[in-house]
Amino acid sequence: MSKKAFDKIAQGLSEAIAITKGEMKPAKLHLPDEIDVRSLRRRLGMTQDEFASAFGFTINQIREWEQARARPLGGLRAYLLLIDKAPESVLALLQEKIPREAA
């Protein structure tokens, strides 16, 4: 694990402890009610299959969202927001091979 990643995890843990002790208030998460998956996918120049494969969705999820028969819920909206704001970073993280630590 890189030092930068470790530092971020350590900071998150420190914040979590401070929140549980009442020393800090949790940050509010602001997710848009709707995410236009079709526009996002097209902006990235990807087909439905490419988008689904690259980011770990099923093709059926993409079709349902784009045809407004379903909508991504909380965690998926957060993930799509990350893809929208930093697609290259998300792809890099997903493609990174991280060695498993010995148990």
| Sequence spans of domains, the chain | 1-29, 31-95
Mean pLDDT of 85-91: 93
- Is the pLDDT score of 82 beyond 90? yes
At 15-30, the pLDDT tens digits run: 778 777 888 887 777 7
- Is the pLDDT score of 60 beyond 60? yes
Contacts of 71 (CB under 8 A, 6+ apart): 34, 65
31-95 belongs to which homologous superfamily? Answer: lambda repressor-like DNA-binding domains (1.10.260.40)
